[in-house]
Amino acid sequence: MSAHSTDCIVVGGGPGGMFAALLLARQGVRVMLLEAHLDFARDFRGDTIHPPTLELLDRLGLSQPLHALPHGVLRQFVIHAGSQVFTLADLSRLPSRFPYMMLLPQEKLLDLLACHAQRYPHLRVQMGAQANQLLWEQGRVVGVTYRQAEREQVVRAPLTIAADGRFSKLRKLAGLEPIRTAPPMDIVWFRLPRYQTDPTDQGVVVNQGRFCVLLNREQQWQIGFVIAKGGYRQLHALGLRAFRTALSDVVPWLSDRLHLLDDWSTLTLLSVESSRLSKWYLPGLLFIGDAAHAMSPVGGVGINYAVQDAIAAANILAEPLRTRSVQMHHLAAVQRRREWPVRVIQFIQGILQRNLVAEALDRGKAFHLPLPLQIIFRLPILRELPSRIIGLGVGRERVPPALPGV
Ligand SMILES: Cc1cc2nc3c(=O)[nH]c(=O)nc-3n(C[C@H](O)[C@H](O)[C@H](O)COP(=O)(O)OP(=O)(O)OC[C@H]3O[C@@H](n4cnc5c(N)ncnc54)[C@H](O)[C@@H]3O)c2cc1C
């Protein structure tokens, strides 16, 4: 078994872990990032890049290569309910250099970041490296063991950042249990070709107690068919033909290509979860991103919040990590900084789930926009609120300049 040591270990090469590692390395901290998979190819993992993340990528000098990749752009998010159309969010008016959401397969974003990571001599990205044990000494986490190419290895550091996602292994190893709420829905994701003659609107279509999300990925539509929590088994039992019929009831113009959904393997079930840890840290260990708080997909905010956690962690921890003086109060400061934005957005998602989603899935009655949303849309002073909450998020972090010479 070989052993290494570094200033900070980051477990997980998703958006949270990758940005945390880059931003710390940019501040002169020696970082080792462990990613369990050999590549970033994952389907249906969240493909939205929000304005604050686009601004961060711009700060890192990555805006140009990012925009050169084939991508979609979402400026308005609309709800189609029968003959009514509501604009839920209009991002084009946001006070940002990038007043839109970019739609890009997450794999492409992570590939770009991994490539950029090579310019930081302080940062080592280990692919195919699965963390499997925490190393404890005198009640403190002092590193992890990981398996890479069939070999057990050890890496030691004063701090391990667990950014290993909603099913976090490190959270289990640390014995931490998140507080869970049960959103009333699950989502079946799939893709269908997109034709030039298709409508251009992106957003939600509600029809006859059914509810679909449509995102434009240039050559394809990424489609989420929302079902009641635990409803997938029933959907499966009714068969693919019934599923295609249900889809053509909600979005009739897709009927000409539904035959392409000819196998259940073309569909991916997302079991929707919303949770958060009551304490995000232990001595020598900090949780960020989905590992600290799994987000409901309402508003598609999970990536943005994981990235904002990464910025906050790097801002607060870079100096104490560089000087090897990181203490519990530094870790507590990261949680204090990020917990309230997470609580606020999870509270808003809860309201939307109980009202908008539950109302849309009620097959017994015609869809009506819930009263709080009607009020928001009627009052000019409140109309921009959903765009700001979805597009910018709550509690944005500032990115300091790189340490000179790094
Ligand atoms: C189907 C689906 C659709 C979604 N759609 C959206 C969307 O449209 N917009 C949005 O903002 N969010 C969306 N999300 C949520 C979004 O993907 C997450 O919120 C975001 O990726 C969280 O980032 P993260 O870095 O915290 O964790 P993850 O992205 O989950 O990354 C965790 C990483 O850790 C690695 N890992 C796990 N265990 C270990 C280990 N033991 N050792 C080493 N590495 C390990 C994993 O391989 C993974 O790469 C969606 C999620 C799903 C599942």
Determine the pLDDT at residue 44. Answer: 66
Instruction: Give the model's pLDDT for residue 43.
Output: 65
Q: How far is the CA of 255 from the centre of ligand 1 (A)?
A: 32
Give me the CATH topology for the region 2-180+273-391: FAD/NAD(P)-binding domain (3.50.50)
Atom of ligand 1 nearest to the CA of 48: 9
Question: What's the pLDDT score for residue 332?
Answer: 98
Angle at 65 between CA 62 and CA 107, to 5 degrees: 90
> How far away, in angstroms, is 46 Cα from ligand 1 center?
8
Contact between 185 and 270 under an 8 Å Cβ cutoff? The reply is no
- Other residues' Cβ atoms within 10 Å of the Cβ of residue 236: 15
**Minimum CA distance residue for ligand 1 atom 41:** 131
Q: Could you tell me the distance, in angstroms and rounded to a whole number, from the CA of residue 373 to the centre of ligand 1? A: 30
Q: What is the pLDDT of residue 309?
A: 98
Q: Which residues pair with 210 in a beta bridge?
A: 207
Look at residue 223 in the predicted model and tell me its pLDDT: 94
Nearest CA to ligand 1 atom 37: 164
Q: Choose which residue among 22, 23, 33, 35 to substitute to test ligand 1 binding: the one with the highest number of ligand atoms within 8 A of its C-beta.
A: 35
How far apart, in whole angstroms, are the C-alpha atoms of residue 7 and residue 109? 26
- Give nearest CA residue, ligand 1 atom 18: 302
- Per DSSP, the residues of 313-373 read HHHHHHHHHHTT---HHHHHHHHHHHHHHHHHHHHHHHHHIIIIIHHHT-TTS-----HHH
156: DSSP letter: E
Query: Is residue 165 lining ligand 1, measured as CB closer than 6 Å?
Result: yes
Rg (C-alpha) for the chain, rounded Å, is 22
Question: DSSP 3-state helix, strand, coil percentages of the chain (rounded to 5)?
Answer: 40, 30, 35
Whole-structure pTM value: 0.92
Scanning the structure block, which residue is given the tokens 């070709």? 193
Q: What is the pLDDT of residue 138?
A: 96
Q: Measured in angstroms, how far is the CA atom of residue 106 from the centroid of ligand 1?
A: 9
| Mutation probe of ligand 1 site: the residue of 290, 295, 298, 308 with most atoms within 8 A of C-beta | 290
From the CB of 163, is ligand 1 less than 6 Å away? yes
| pLDDT value of residue 363 | 67
Q: Which two tokens stand for residue 153?
A: 């290895």
45 CA → ligand 1 middle, Å: 6
Per-residue pLDDT of the chain (406 residues; tens, 9 = 90+): 677 899 999 999 999 999 999 999 999 999 999 999 999 987 667 789 999 999 999 999 999 999 999 998 999 888 888 777 888 889 999 999 999 999 998 999 999 999 999 999 999 999 999 999 999 999 999 999 999 999 999 999 999 999 999 999 999 999 999 998 877 789 999 999 999 899 887 788 888 778 899 988 878 899 999 998 889 999 999 999 999 999 998 899 999 999 999 999 999 998 888 999 999 999 999 999 999 999 988 888 999 999 999 999 999 999 999 999 999 999 999 999 999 999 999 998 888 887 777 777 776 677 777 777 777 777 777 778 888 988 998 888 988 888 877 7
Question: Does 270 contact ligand 1 (Cβ within 6 A)?
Answer: yes
Any ligand 1 atom below 6 A from CB of 391: no
Q: Write down the pLDDT at residue 383.
A: 76
In the reported structure, the alpha carbon of residue 17 is separated from the centroid of ligand 1 by a whole-number distance in angstroms of 10
What residue segments make up the domains of the chain, in order of their start? 2-180+273-391, 185-228+231-270
Minimal CA–CA distance to 314: which of 40, 115, 58, 16? 16
203 DSSP β-pair partners: 78, 214
Residue 105, φ and ψ in degrees, nearest 5: -50, 130
The residue type at 240: L
Task: Determine if ligand 1 sits within 6 Å of the CB of residue 393.
Answer: no
Structure confidence at residue 325 (pLDDT): 96
Ligand 1 atom with the smallest distance to the CA of 15 is 25
Residue 308: the pLDDT is: 97
What pLDDT is stored for residue 157 in this prediction?
Answer: 98
In this predicted structure, what is the pLDDT of residue 224? 93
Determine the pLDDT at residue 316.
97
Total residue count of the chain as it appears in this document: 406
